[in-house]
Each structure stands twice: as C-alpha cells, then as structure tokens.
Structure 1
Amino acid sequence: MTDTDRVELVFITVAAAGHIVSTVELAKLLIDRDERLSITILPMKSAILNFSNYGTNHSNIPSSRIRFIHLPDHEPDPSLDPRKNFTSMIEDNKLHVKEIASKLSPKLAGIVLDLMCTPMIDVAIELGVPSYLYYAAGAAFLGMMFHVQDLHDEQGKEPTEFDELVVPGMANPLPVPKSLPSPLLYKEGIQTVLNMARKFRETKGIIINTFTELEPYAVNSLASEDGIPPVYPVGPLLNLKGNGHNELSSNKFKEVMQWLDDQPPSSVVFLCFGSMGSFDVEQVKEIAYALENSGHRFLWSLRRPPMEEEKHRIGSPTEYSDHQEVLPDGFLDRTADAGRVIGWAPQVEVLGHPSVGGFVSHCGWNSVLEAIWHGVPIGAWPLYAEQQFNAFELVVELGLAVEFRLGYRSSDQHHKAVIVNAGDIERGIRSLMDRSEEERMKLLDVMREYSKRALEEDGSSYNTIGCLIQDIIGTNNH
C-alpha cells in the first residue's frame, strides 16, 4: 500500500461521555476494518459540559492511526442559557477545525460530525469535502426528528398541536406530550430541532449507533424516504472494557464488585441514571423506601444535583461526601446486607456482572445498548432530552423494558419534576425483577444475540460498515 492509498477522516465531537465514548468506538471500528484509513478526533470541551477524558488515555486506543487534537477550552458566559453557550462554543471552534482539517488535504476524505455539531458542515463545504453525521441516538428518534421537520415545513404545524404523532417507522402513535422529547415542548427547543434536522439532510450519509434487528421498521423507513441521506446502522458501538475511570482501581470499587460476586445470579437491581442524572432529596427518600420495601438486593448510584451556582452548566451532578445526609434515617444500617449505595458507578462492568438482574435507567441510548448487550431487563425512568422517547420505544414498541414513570422529566426551566411515590417505584422494581415475565425475557435474550451477531462477520452492522467505508474511499478517489 502506497501513501496515495491512505485517506484521513476528521471526527468532531463534544467531550461529553454520552457522545465521545461511542465516537471513539466508531473510529476504532473503522480503522480496524480498513488499513487505508486514519482518523483525527477533535473533542470540544467546555465548563458547560460534564467533560469526559475518555480517549485522552491512549491505552484505550489500539492504533497510531487514531489521534486526538483537543480544541481550545470554551469559557462560558454564566449569564447566558447553557444552550446559547453551547452554540457559541461551536461557532468559536469553526476556524480551529478548518485550520486543522485543511492541513490534512489532499488525503482528507470527509468530516464526521457529532449530531450536536452540525454547524460544522459549513467547514466541510468550505474545504470541498463531504460530511457524514454520526448519530449517537436511535433510528426511531432520528425518524421522529425528520417527521417533526416535515410537519413544520410542509404543513406549518408543530408537534404540540397533536394529541398523538404518527411517526414513520413506528408501529404505535407517540403520545404528546407524555413521550415527546423535552426540547419539542417549547418554541425555542422546537426551532433547535428543526435546524438540526435540516442540517442532517445536507450530509452525504448518516451513521447511526443502532442495529437493524433492534429497529427494523425505523431503519427501513429512513432508507426508503426521499430527501434523507443514506443511513448506516453500525451499532451497537460499545466500550465493553469500561471507560478507564481512575476510580475503577480504587478499593471502593473493588469492594463493590466483590459484593456483587457474593450475590446470587440475577438477584440485584442496579439503579444508575447516567452522567447527568440526579434527584432532589424528596425523590431520593421515595426511592429508598421503595428499595427497602421491595426486599430486593440493590446497587444504587446516587449523586448530588447541581448547586444553584452551577445551573449555567449542562448537567453537573457531583458526589455526596456522605449519602446519609439525604437518605432516610437508618436506611443504610437496615439495608446493609441487602444493598450498596455508591456515587459514580462503573456501569459497563456492573451490567456485565451475572448477579445483576435488572437496571433502573434514565434510558440514555448508550445505556440502553449496554443493557441489551448484556441481556439485562430495563426499568424505564427517563429524565431529559430524548429519553422520554427512548422509554416509549423500549416499553411500547419493542417490549424490552418495564415502565417506571414514562413522561417523567427532571426539573428545569420549563418543567417542575413530579415526585414518583415509593409505591409506584416498588411496583416497578418487583415487575422488573420478576423472572416469570417469559415473553419479555425471551425477547431480551433474542435481542442480546442479535446485538452480538450484528458486529460479527456478515452481520448486519458488519456489512453496513463495509458499505460506509466503500462510500468514503470512493468519495476520495473522485
């Protein structure tokens, strides 16, 4: 192979865990499949985000053909809404991206953009190279975004005007507002989604972190609709070796894993709500009462909500110095044998442990794929963003999850969170851990096998990755 055969891709992503982890996994998958490819990843970091250092630890990266160039840190304006700060961060980085990417020419074959970074399409146009969207959510949600854009641009309607939305690629109508993503419930958020969907259509292709067997109707609907670029379902893109968190090697987490080792198979319910998930004290107490009354073993990742002075950041839970300050009196003593309350949790490692039999989750897409890969039933408790939609898809469309509280939303400037009472949570836990639900368990077992086969040779995602690489290389040859 000569130097003329080699091509470069630039990946642009935000340095938040829900984005950069699977972005790096996509890069690793591509360079593993074709030795002609090299990839430069440009993470954007800002104090408005929960920054993830995933990828800066190069022991995670198996090849010198993936490198990182960190864009300058963005200093947010505390007086501005977090979303306006985010937009400012993207715009401020355009020149830096152009300078870095232009140095790779003529080997530059394209720019792969995180779904939050679509304004960077303008840079690709200036450089005369194609752009590809990396969509870290599911295919059905992508279809819903395009549908909302069609409603607005072709019929002059907004989603909140309907009681239900009939979304192409979904068998069941989506209830409004119960399962509509939070941004689509207010005018500014709708405009943001519309702008994103329009930019998505400008790309040469859309790479989706899903697999066809999980969302067949949604994938086929996207592939058959005019005006949507070719879609490439290449998932599940998972970092199954864990995220390299420094605390993984600490005694605290060794003790947690040892405790799991001592529990019977499928006996522990794991509660974890993502890198941005937290609850106020009143809701924490209701969860505690439910866990205690359920009698089930549990591992609970409990983190402190943002302080008032941290509200300019997009999600900033931190660790409690002592969980007893928010838990019911005596709870930790009474449940000492049955469970553990921790802060940050090594989610991948925990879900892969044979003692874990249920996962109460915010339904972030990465968490959904991890649970399916390990065959762990999901209890759906969405908090923000597209998680209400994901929860509806899992519970109603796919039958893979148990409803805890569909339509629940974390407290923000547009919504005040409703307290879910201990009785409802307890019922959800009992249903989640009930192994007599044969149909759901059978579906989950089947989907777990599909998720693994998709990435194997001649699997659906394996073949799609080959088509994507051919499109990239073919583009470069022209």
Structure 2
Amino acid sequence: MEAAKQQPPHVALIPSPGIGHLIPLTEFAKRLAHRNFSVTLLIPTDGSSSAAQRSVLDSLPKSVNYIFLPPVSLGDRAEGEGVEIRIVRIVTLSLPALRHSLMALSESTRLAAIVVDLFGTDTFCFATELGVPAYLFFSTAAMLLSLIFYLPELDKRFDCEYRHWPEPVELPGCVPVQGRDLVAPIQNRKNEAYKWCLNLSRNYKLADGIIVNSFLELEPGAFKALKEHWTGVPPVYPIGPQIQTGSPTVVDGSECLKWLDQQPPHSVVFVSFGSGGTLSHRQLTELAMGLEFSGQRFIWVIKSPHEDVANATFFSVHSMINPFDFLPEGFLDRTRDLGMVVPSWAPQIQILGHRSTGGFLSHCGWNSVLESIVHGVPIVAWPLYAEQKMNAALLCDDLKVGYRVKVEENGVVGRDAIAGYVKGLIEGDEGGKLLRDRMRDLEDAAAKALSENGSSWKRFEEVTDIWRNHRRA
C-alpha cells in the first residue's frame, strides 16, 4: 500500500482508431509526462494500424506506454454506414479488452483518471467500477461541443433535415451556421449516426470533466455558453492549442524544406487536404489549373482522386495509382519553377512553421486549424467532411482569418475562383493583409494561452491537480 502511494499518478488514455484521433491524445500524454504523471494509451483497433500511427507512438517518452488492444473484426461495411458508426463499433467490440486492461492498470499503478475521446463514453462505467474519475477529451472545437449539447433542443424544433432549413442555426455562444454546414453525421435524421449524436449530450454529462483542445481566447462565446447555458454540463477545461510536436516521419520531407529555404518570405501557399481528404478527378484538374493561373508559389500534397464522389470523401486506404497521372498534361513542366508537387505526405508542421509559407489551402480538420493558428498562417478554407464546414464557419465568418471557397452548382470549385483565393491570400493588399494581421493576433493569443499563467496553462494545471490529489476509496 505504501509503495502504491509513492508511485506517480497514472492516467489511462483511450483514443479512437485513426491518426487524427491519436495525435491529440499522444500530445496530451507528453504534457502529462512533463508534469510527472505516468500514462498508458489503450488503443482499440480493427487491425489496420498504420506506419504513421506507429511512428507517432514510438516517439513518446519512456513514462508513456501504449497497448494495441486485440483487433476486432467488423466484417463488410453495411450500406450507408458512416465512418463514425464504424469507429463506435470498434470501440464497442473492444470493451471487454478495455476493461481487462484497466483492471490490470488499477492493480499495478496508482490509477488517477481515465480519459476517453469523443467516441469512448461507454468506458465511463469502468471508471465508476474502479473508483476513479472519468474525463472526456474533446479533440475539436468548442463550437461542436456546443452543438452536441444543443442538438436535443434542435431535434424538437426542426421537422425537416437541417440542410433544408433556410435560416442560419444559432448555437449558443457561436457564430450562426447554415444547417447544411452542421457536422456531417446529423445531416440524415433517419440514420444510425444521427441517433448516436443525439445521445452524446446525455453521455457527455456523465463525465467528471471535459478537456477541450481549444483555448478561451479563440472561442470565448462557446466556452461561456458551455458554462452558463445548460444545466448538468461537467466542468470544461480548454487546454489548447495542442498540436503535434517533434517530427515523427514516415516519408522523408527534406526536399520540401530545402525547396522552401530558397523561396522569399511568406510567398508560398501550402495545399493539403489532410490524411483522409480526396477530390474527384475533375476537381483535381481545376485545382491544378487554379494554382497555375494564380502565379503564386505552392507546395501541393496530392492524392489520387476518388472517382465515386462528385467532390470529396473520407476513406482510409488511398489508391496505389500514381496521383501524378491525373494532373493536366504539361502541368508539372509549366509550373516547375513555380511550385512543388509531392505525393501523399509532407511534413506539415515544419512547412507551416517555415518563414517562406504565407498561406494554407486546407480542408479545415481541427488539427490543421490549430497548426495554422500556432504558426500564424492564414487559410483558404475548403472543408470536405465531418465537422470541417463548422470549422470553416468559425475561421471565415467569426474569426475572419480565411477565405472560404464557394462550390458551384456542378459541385466543383472552379479554377478562376481558386486562383483568386490563392492570390488574395499571398498578395492581397487589403483583404489579404487583414487576414494575415488577424491570424498573427491569434498566433500571439495562442502562445499567451499556453504560457505560464495563461488561460490554457491554468486549466491544465487545474485538472492535473485534481488527478494528482485523487485518492481511491
């Protein structure tokens, strides 16, 4: 018993499958390790862990361990089954293994808390069984968290699909959002994903606290509403912006950085749609021509198009076809002195932090949003799936640090419009300068929030003090 008291407090972190869910929790684990916690990540999987995941995990400090739970078998994807429900199924099928691992940690460590991401609330019962607090790690914007708590009320107010509602939806504390821009899983009220989202409001209230990867100065209205608008919402701790640190690499990105070294300051637009974003062949062609017409320097991370969609989709296994085969004829030769096209992957953190990078054409995944803010890089917002349209509304309509692309009736963003967005971001004298200035202000606010006695620093210290002082009965 005395030996257990002398152990450092231990925290179990349970991420959902996927690199985008894993990275924020591994960064949180590093912060805990720096505060003398020991940590174990318990990772549900369907057996498809990637080299990128392994690289991230292998970069963790010695006081952070990780365990891949036994892979579960999902079978073929049911018709209409979205990625959210597939993730929920992986976590649900992993619950027996999760309980076994948590019991083992409880016996061998001074277990002080269990922290799950937004798909893992079914594990809260294990925390109760073990007599430790259960916390939710919400890895995206407070704006989405506000929507989750507001959704039961919206469900009663609206009879039609949200995308058909003519007026913007006013979420407490947030910029108004068009119904069609609300998070993708709620856009069909008859499907399983909608029912799951509707239950999240109840499930999240079971947490002892909610840790949010955002910061007070970024979303003051949303955090105020989370504290005051609803009853029964647990304490909310904004501890961001938390972005990937270090440089775990699966592919050598040195050529990109060498090329950037040769470019003028703030002259390059970085084009990337994240780990899961793909465009149709037609849209890829328009993007290529738009970049060429803009006359601006660029680094473009290109993936093979997904032919079954009009604009974009999320899928986990990218085509093995060479993406360069889909570029317009002669494009690479014509832009040889203007830009650099790289297949599949580039060192995004290093590129955004480079002095030559002046803009980011992004899908607006929350990890990318925070990375752009931390490095003060304004955005051309091109959201594709999940909550990315809500993130784009926050960036462009509320914070006004980016241009949002307009999709034409044919479902495509045209080359002339793309050229205008990119040129305005890099060269724009008035509008572009305002975006750049506002983003620099956000960059400063983010740094201040994370500094000693900043808003995020204080909230992180507050929640870790609770765990450090926790004593199980």
Flag whether TM exceeds 0.5 (same fold).
yes
Alignment of 1:375-454 (within 5 A): 375-405=376-406, 418-436=411-429, 437-454=432-449
Whole-angstrom distance in 2 between the partners of 1:337 and 1:47: 43
Whole-angstrom distance in 2 between the partners of 1:167 and 1:213: 18
Q: Match for 1:76: what amino acid? A: L
Whole-angstrom distance in 2 between the partners of 1:303 and 1:8: 40
Whole-angstrom distance in 2 between the partners of 1:314 and 1:94: 26
Q: Does 1:371 align with 2:364?
A: no
The residue that corresponds to 1:197 in the other structure is: 201
Deviation at 1:471, TM superposition (A): 2.0
CA contact (8 A) 1:306 1:316 kept: no
Alignment of 1:69-468 (within 5 A): 69-80=67-78, 81=81, 83=83, 84-105=85-106, 107-152=110-155, 160=162, 162=165, 163-170=167-174, 172-177=175-180, 179-187=181-189, 188=191, 189-225=193-229, 226-242=231-247, 244-248=248-252, 253-305=253-305, 315-318=315-318, 322-343=322-343, 344-405=345-406, 418-436=411-429, 437-468=432-463
The residue that corresponds to 1:61 in the other structure is: 60
What are the superposed Cα offsets for residues 439-464 of structure 1, whole Å, 9 maximum, x if unpaired? 32221111101111211111111111
Deviation at 1:121, TM superposition (A): 2.0
Whole-angstrom distance in 2 between the partners of 1:214 and 1:130: 28
RMSD over aligned Cα atoms = 2.5
What are the superposed Cα offsets for residues 392-439 of structure 1, whole Å, 9 maximum, x if unpaired? 010001111111237x9xxxxxxx981111122112112222352333
Mean CA deviation greater in 435-444 or 7-16: 435-444
Deviation at 1:104, TM superposition (A): 2.4
The residue that corresponds to 1:41 in the other structure is: 41
Whole-angstrom distance in 2 between the partners of 1:390 and 1:204: 26
3-state DSSP of counterpart to 1:328 = coil
Q: Match for 2:112: what amino acid? A: A
Q: Match for 1:468: what amino acid? A: V
Deviation at 1:88, TM superposition (A): 2.6
3-state DSSP of counterpart to 2:13 = strand
Unpaired runs of 5+ residues, structure 1, are: 409-415
Deviation at 1:125, TM superposition (A): 3.0
Change (3 A) 1:158 1:458: farther
Change (3 A) 1:157 1:29: farther
Q: Match for 2:438: what amino acid? A: L
Deviation at 1:184, TM superposition (A): 1.6
Deviation at 1:367, TM superposition (A): 0.2
Change (3 A) 1:96 1:307: farther
3-state DSSP of counterpart to 1:241 = coil
CA contact (8 A) 1:373 1:451 kept: yes
3-state DSSP of counterpart to 2:99 = helix
Whole-angstrom distance in 2 between the partners of 1:180 and 1:377: 23
Change (3 A) 1:159 1:65: farther
The residue that corresponds to 1:411 in the other structure is: none
3-state DSSP of counterpart to 1:299 = strand
Whole-angstrom distance in 1 between the partners of 2:99 and 2:273: 36
| Percent identity of paired positions between Structure 1 and Structure 2 | 33
The residue that corresponds to 1:412 in the other structure is: none
Change (3 A) 1:123 1:321: same
Deviation at 1:196, TM superposition (A): 2.2
What are the superposed Cα offsets for residues 133-155 of structure 1, whole Å, 9 maximum, x if unpaired? 00000111111111112333x65
CA contact (8 A) 2:251 2:346 kept: no
| TM-score, scaled relative to structure 1 | 0.89
Unpaired runs of 5+ residues, structure 2, are: none
